[in-house]
Amino acid sequence: MTIVPAIKRDYITKLAEQGKRIDGRGFDQYRPIEIETKVVNKAEGSARVKIGNTQVLCGIKMDIGEPFPDTPTTGVMSTAAEFVPLASPDFESGPPREDAIELARVVDRGVRESQVIQLEKLCITPGEKVWLVFIDIHILDYDGNLFDAASLAALAALLTTKVPISRFIKNLDEKDRASWQQQLLDIYTIPGIDEAPFGSDDTNNTQVTINDFPLPMIEPPISCTAVKINDFVLFDSCFDEEIIADARLTVATDHKGDIRAMQKGLSGSFSREEIQKVIKGALDNGQEIRKILNQSIGK
Amino acid sequence: MKSDRELINSEGRRLDGRSPHDLRKIKIEAGVLHRADGSCSLEWGGNKVLVAVYGPREAVPRHVQNPLKAIVQARYNMAAFSVEDRKRPGPDRRSVEISKVISEALEKVVLIEQFPRASIDVNIEVLDAEAGTRCAGLTAAGVALVDAGIPLRDIPVACAAGKIGGRVVLDLGKEEDNYGDADLPIAISPRTGEVLLLQMDGHLTIDEFNEAFDLAMKGCYEVSEIQKKAILQKYQSAAAEVQE
């Protein structure tokens, strides 16, 4: 550790002993959160999330490709994070390093394991053609707590994604189209997706125009992250707190108040009580963040 | 390849309703990022570009250092989601070339002799792309360099002209770039009129080139005014905050 973080560590722990944080927040309190959706025209869905000074942009692109052999009827999702050198003097260009890979994998798990995207509804022709969903996360400004910002950006972007069927329909042959129309009937039984699956039917019935439709999703869990510095547990760490943190814990909770994912990071440890404390804080903050997320997508 | 639509009609109206000498809409904001030494966000038609400047700081690895002056390292990067079909993340040949010509253009205006062995890093992120991203990136880089307080001879600015449907026009849009006859992006130092970057592809006669070049110059001066306003705006709002 260099000299500056060592001095800051002193300062941050002294403040914490008096129950304070460097930016005047409470231990459980998040910085202001802003979510802006549909910020990239070329993307199928996008969102820019600000948590305090941290800024993350997520864009969703979709394509048609082959399914994995072991899951012939489910769509494929993949997540990548870029720590572009724009965001911090310490980020370098080049292939993603381990912190970028960890971030992408944590976001990926949050989406994949709780089945937020209904991938089984993204099959076109079993074993041959399925939808591919690419989640690309760009860190724009790094002031701590990338896990929460990146997960939130991914969710907001996915929730505003439109499947670009109108652009791809010309790539599908007769068999694919017939198979896909079967799938569509199924998709439109999902509550919340009520737009007409088909546009105006052509009279000779060979050219059916199809509208882009929202990605089939379920209510997502929300991730909240806390760090531990000495014996203090602080939510939504800013950069100065994060670089001196001993341990980090991310907890994702769903709308029913159940836990859907957890990830501990860094070399420090948590006691049972501290974990309880983080879960409680994640539930409370998760409720608030869910409201902000729903507002941003117009729900 | 020919567009199935007429790029410019007999009255000189273009697909997006512009006349031949019109720029697309440009919006520039300086100082938008917290961690960067200087930054700029720029929207130019359907392009969205974000630039962060770091430095002057020690150039690494050591062998790239110049004992007499600083180096300018621009890095042009396109987001995977910025284009119609997803781009694979990371540098490709196109972005390496664009990074190089932008670095060289910027090096001409930065007072590099003041910072031996240092590097001035200019990170250009293209978030949304719609023809003319290198001009947008270089123009935003100019503002970000000022915002970072890097000593400059001038604020560099870029703009393109081109030829569509047999006519020379300013600032090609997406369709015009894909199906047009020629594209001529230039960057200048507006105070002296020196050309910092020039590329051309397509087919122009000598007369058409001269016309396009003059038009692109005129475009640069127009964009330059918008740059200066954005910089002024930042300092005015900072001054207003201090007074409060």
Q: Name the token pair of B82.
A: 């910025």
Q: Which residues of A133-153 are buried (b: 16+ CB within 10 A; e: fewer)?
A: bbbbbbbbbbbbbbbbbbbbb
Test mutation, B25, B34, B122, chain A, max A CBs within 10 A = B34
pLDDT digits 0-9 by tens, A204-236: 444 455 678 889 888 899 999 999 999 899 999
Contact list in B for residue A39 (CB cut-off 8 A) is 48, 127-128
B223, amino acid identity = V
Q: When comparing pLDDT for B5 and A130, which is higher? A: A130
DSSP character string of chain B: ---SS-SB-TTS-BTTS--TTPPPPEEEEE---SSSSEEEEEEETTEEEEEEEEEEEE-SSGGG--SSS-EEEEEEEE-TTSSSSPPPSS--HHHHHHHHHHHHHHHHHB-GGGSTTEEEEEEEEEEE-SS-HHHHHHHHHHHHHHHTT--BSS--EEEEEEEETTEEEES--HHHHHHSSEEEEEEEETTTTEEEEE--EE---HHHHHHHHHHHHHHHHHHHHHHHHHHHHHHHHHHHHHH-
Tell me: pLDDT of A141 over 70. yes
Chain A residue set in contact with B, beta carbons under 8 Å: 39-44, 46, 53, 55, 57, 59-61, 63, 80, 82, 84-89, 93, 95, 134, 136, 138, 140-143, 239
pLDDT digits 0-9 by tens, B121-157: 999 999 999 999 999 999 999 999 999 999 999 999 9
User: Alpha-carbon distance B137 to B38, whole Å?
Assistant: 14
User: Alpha-carbon distance B180 to B166, whole Å?
Assistant: 9
pLDDT at B140: 98
Q: How confident is the model at residue A187 (pLDDT cuts 50, 70, 90)?
A: low
Residue A100 C-alpha from the chain's centroid: 14
Please provide the CATH number assigned to the domain covering B4-243.
3.30.230.70
Q: What is the C-alpha R_g of chain B?
A: 18
- What is the pLDDT tens value at each position of chain B, 244 positions in all? 455 678 889 888 999 999 999 999 999 999 999 999 999 999 999 999 999 999 999 998 899 999 999 999 999 999 999 999 999 998 898 999 999 999 999 999 999 999 999 999 999 999 999 999 999 999 999 999 999 999 999 999 999 999 999 999 999 999 999 999 999 999 999 999 999 999 988 888 989 999 999 999 999 999 999 999 999 999 999 899 888 7
pLDDT at B22: 96
Report the residue from B35, B46, B125 with minimal CB separation from A142. Answer: B35
Q: Can you give the pTM of this predicted structure?
A: 0.86
Q: Name the token pair of A291.
A: 């409201």
pLDDT digits 0-9 by tens, A249-298: 999 999 999 988 888 888 888 999 999 999 999 999 999 999 999 999 98
Cβ(A52)–Cβ(A238) below 8 Å: yes
- For residue A118, the 8-state DSSP code is -
User: Alpha-carbon distance A273 to B201, whole Å?
Assistant: 66
Tell me: pLDDT of A202 over 70. no
Tell me: pLDDT of A200 over 60. no
pLDDT at A176: 85
Q: Name the token pair of B47.
A: 């392009």
Nearest to A184 by CA among A165, A161, A168: A165
**How far A87 CA lies from chain B's nearest CA (Å)?**
7
Sole residue written with tokens 């076109």: A124
Provide the ipTM. Answer: 0.80
Q: Which helix (H) or strand (E) holds A251?
A: strand A247-253
